[in-house]
Amino acid sequence: MKSQEIEELIQAGESIDFECKEARRSLPRSFFETYSSFANTEGGLVILGVKELSDHQFEISGVDPHPLIKDLWDSLNNRQKVSANILREEDIVQDTVEGKVILIIHIPRANREQRPIYKGQSPFSGTFRRNFEGDYLCNPQIVKSMLADQRSITADSKVLENFGLHDIDIETLRAYRHRFLNQNQTHAWNELNDADFLYEINAYGRDREKDVEGLTVAGLLMFGKSRSILDYLPGFFLEYREAGNREFQERWADRFTSIDGTWQANVYHFFFKSLERLIQNISVPFEMNGLYRKNESDVQVAMREALANTLIHADYFGSQGIVVQNNHNEFVFSNPGTLRVPLEQALRGGVSDPRNAYLFKIFALIGIGERAGSGIPTIRYIWKRKQWQPPFLEEDFQNDRTILKLKAISLLPEKSIHFIKNSLRGKFDDMKLDGDELMALTTAYQENEVTNVRLQQLLDKNSWEVNRLLTRLVVDKCLLQSTGFGRGTKYTLSERVFNRASEHTQKQISFFAANNHTNEKSSEINAQSSEINAQSSEINAQNSEINRDGELDQLWKITEIARQRKRLSRDQMEGLIMTLCTYKEFTIREMSQYLCRTPDSLRVGYIRKMVHEGTLEPLYKSDLHHPKQAYKTKED
């Protein structure tokens, strides 16, 4: 990593995968909490030799590298301090910034056989994970899930004593065997009785050490009666829901759960009951597969793979269930348990590590999810062919869940591009937006916000590359504005974009009204602009004075230095804030447009201090969190 990138990281502050710590000759006390949290989440960087001042401001303090590195290796290999050393020599890099030595430590994501990585001697008191706010201690259930994932034999292979054929739903088994026969018409297992058939597909088994036999966990999940499944897995829960018509205030147009008592709620029935609804509005084009017509479209295949993946990789011993949500042009598949392979590997494919290997085999025997490690890549390929937004796979570590979102929405919708071009008008070509920048802007418009993680999967770029892209759009071009810190930062289109779009729209409407165009033409324009007006009405109400008042154009020129330079001295920035607030009361969001800084950085870095020192005063003194809070220079 280059020194410039390091400085940018430090300037941006701590995030979900980056932390600064002050150190000199020995490790800080909190180091192994961060080591544990990064290893148990997605990995990250720790820079030693950086001091946090206040309000997310940092300065380089430096380290004495030789004793510090020795202390690091000694501690990593001390089982009294930490459960395992997962670092290599190349993970520790010494560098010099501002003439001072710092230590950069890359902590990788631990594999499932190593997790949990914990501080001290007990996983239940020393296992941490990372969220947007820092390191947090994992609850016992999450620790137990990590310990269970260490095993090479998956939990669904366990033979359940006292669970036998009387716990099987016969109709489910008959439906499965019929599909198996159609898929494998000459297979010898078709001649077996039910008990022997279940044994061959790993739904029934024998535990030779305990000398017992019974259903496997996979067999119970796939074919079991609802009550029998709950007897062994009290937290078992399945839910499908389909968004209703907002016009008629319908929350759900269709919904069923495993506890509603209207069906035998096992995994087999849930799969086909949900799949039928997911694909019911997807047309099947005429297409040949050799001599036969294909009876599935590519999108139907993708839905099938997504649903199968959700069920095969779920942690059924967790406290939360499986949820499949159909929002018509967005499909969300959510299951308990995080990925057993790194996120990048899951997206790339080629490596299969199902949490339920027996369940995987039972599905594969009827042609569902039969190719190991190909599920997500298959879906991504189909979505790419459709030129739809790439699937978004994410891990929610705090709730111990994996979420897959599929949006049947164009990668670069014409409506969104039209909006961006209209917003910037003549400046669109001058700004020379590249494809990645346009993708970020259209996604922010279409989804109301965009994040670093979302763009990584949209653009197939790493976190640092996306961070530089977003910085250009926020700082250099002032087209996005941000809230939050680090990886939790969310980016939305700046108010300047919405204001320009609104001005352009109003001119269009006035022009056509003045020239007595037909009602049909006017209604078309109003329809195109209604969404823009709805999104920007509140912003225009707050900023109408700024748009009308010619004197504020002079303020725009005065503050140009802030929009041209990424860094200004504190005195310069405070002087510009004073200039703005001397003229009128300014909200922080209004200031952010003039100064091309994020509202949070202005609030935390300058406004709080200036109010405390008495150089600024809030408009609403009795309610500091008033939604229309603004600031002015203090009157003498």
C-alpha radius of gyration, the chain, whole number: 29
Q: Are residues 402 and 420 in the same domain?
A: no
Q: Are residues 176 and 66 in the same domain?
A: no
User: Does 103 have pLDDT greater than 90?
Assistant: yes
Could you tell me if residue 289 is inside a domain?
A: yes
Full residue range of the structural domain in which residue 447 is found: 414-493
User: Greater confidence, 241 or 281?
Assistant: 241
User: Greater confidence, 514 or 107?
Assistant: 107
Q: Confidence class of residue 374 from pLDDT cuts 50, 70 and 90?
A: confident
CATH number for the domain harbouring residue 174: 3.30.565.60
Contacts of residue 184, Cβ cutoff 8 Å, sequence gap at least 6: 190, 365
Round to whole Å and give the CA distance between 409 and 393: 16
Round to whole Å and give the CA distance between 495 and 471: 17
Round to whole Å and give the CA distance between 521 and 113: 65
Mean pLDDT score of the chain, rounded to an integer?
82
Could you tell me if residue 498 is inside a domain?
A: no
CA angle 40/314/407 to nearest 5° reads 95
Q: Are residues 297 and 392 in the same domain?
A: yes
| Single residue among 127, 147, 167 that ends a domain in this structure | 147
pLDDT at position 360 = 94
Q: Confidence class of residue 247 from pLDDT cuts 50, 70 and 90?
A: low
User: Does 321 have pLDDT greater than 90?
Assistant: yes
pLDDT at position 252 = 79
| Single residue among 409, 443, 460 that ends a domain in this structure | 409
Longest Cα–Cα distance of the chain, Å, equals: 96
Q: Are residues 470 and 363 in the same domain?
A: no
User: Does 283 have pLDDT greater than 60?
Assistant: no
Could you tell me if residue 624 is inside a domain?
A: yes
pLDDT at position 486 = 54
Residue with the two structure tokens 């937290």: 235
88-102, 129-143, 423-437, 585-599: least confidently modelled range: 423-437
pLDDT at position 188 = 96
Q: Where are the beta strands (DSSP E) in 434-483?
A: 450-451, 480-483
Round to whole Å and give the CA distance between 258 and 281: 24
Q: Where are the beta strands (DSSP E) in 119-274?
A: 128-131, 134-137, 204-207, 212-215, 238-243, 252-257
3-state secondary structure of 340: coil
CATH number for the domain harbouring residue 143: 3.30.950.30
Q: Are residues 585 and 615 in the same domain?
A: yes
CA pseudo-torsion sign 117, 121, 126, 127: positive
CATH number for the domain harbouring residue 636: 1.10.10
86-95, 125-134, 317-326, 619-628: least confidently modelled range: 619-628
Q: Are residues 203 and 346 in the same domain?
A: yes
User: Does 293 have pLDDT greater than 50?
Assistant: no
Round to whole Å and give the CA distance between 535 and 526: 14
Could you tell me if residue 439 is inside a domain?
A: yes
Which of 63-72, 554-563, 614-623 has the highest mean predicted lDDT (pLDDT)?
Answer: 63-72
Bridge partners of residue 492, in order along the sequence: 481
Q: Are residues 176 and 253 in the same domain?
A: yes
Q: Are residues 16 and 110 in the same domain?
A: yes
Round to whole Å and give the CA distance between 123 and 128: 9
Q: Are residues 397 and 262 in the same domain?
A: yes
Round to whole Å and give the CA distance between 123 and 84: 12
Contacts of residue 634, Cβ cutoff 8 Å, sequence gap at least 6: 614, 615, 616, 617
Q: Are residues 258 and 196 in the same domain?
A: yes
User: Does 245 have pLDDT greater than 70?
Assistant: no
Residue with the two structure tokens 């348990």: 337
Could you tell me if residue 541 is inside a domain?
A: no
Q: Which of 348, 349, 372, 343 is nearest to 360 (CA)?
A: 372
Round to whole Å and give the CA distance between 617 and 632: 6
Which residue type occupies 412?
L
pLDDT at position 63 = 94
**170-190: per-residue pLDDT in tens?**
999 999 999 999 999 999 999
Q: Confidence class of residue 525 from pLDDT cuts 50, 70 and 90?
A: very low
Q: Are residues 194 and 286 in the same domain?
A: yes
Number of domains composing the chain: 4
Q: Confidence class of residue 531 from pLDDT cuts 50, 70 and 90?
A: very low
Give the Å distances, CA to CA, from 103 to 31, 50, 117, 358, 538.
Answer: 13, 9, 22, 46, 47
Q: Are residues 158 and 278 in the same domain?
A: yes
Could you tell me if residue 500 is inside a domain?
A: no
Mean pLDDT of 318-331: 89
Q: Confidence class of residue 460 from pLDDT cuts 50, 70 and 90?
A: confident
**332-362: per-residue pLDDT in tens?**
999 999 999 888 888 888 777 899 999 999 9
Round to whole Å and give the CA distance between 248 and 44: 47
**394-421: per-residue pLDDT in tens?**
999 888 999 999 988 887 777 778 788 7
Round to whole Å and give the CA distance between 117 and 622: 48
Bridge partners of residue 616, in order along the sequence: 633
**549-597: per-residue pLDDT in tens?**
455 667 777 887 887 776 777 888 888 898 888 888 888 888 887 888 8
Could you tell me if residue 509 is inside a domain?
A: no
User: Greater confidence, 381 or 553?
Assistant: 381
User: Does 100 have pLDDT greater than 70?
Assistant: yes
CATH number for the domain harbouring residue 419: 1.10.10.10
Could you tell me if residue 576 is inside a domain?
A: yes
pLDDT at position 44 = 87
| Single residue among 350, 384, 409 that ends a domain in this structure | 409
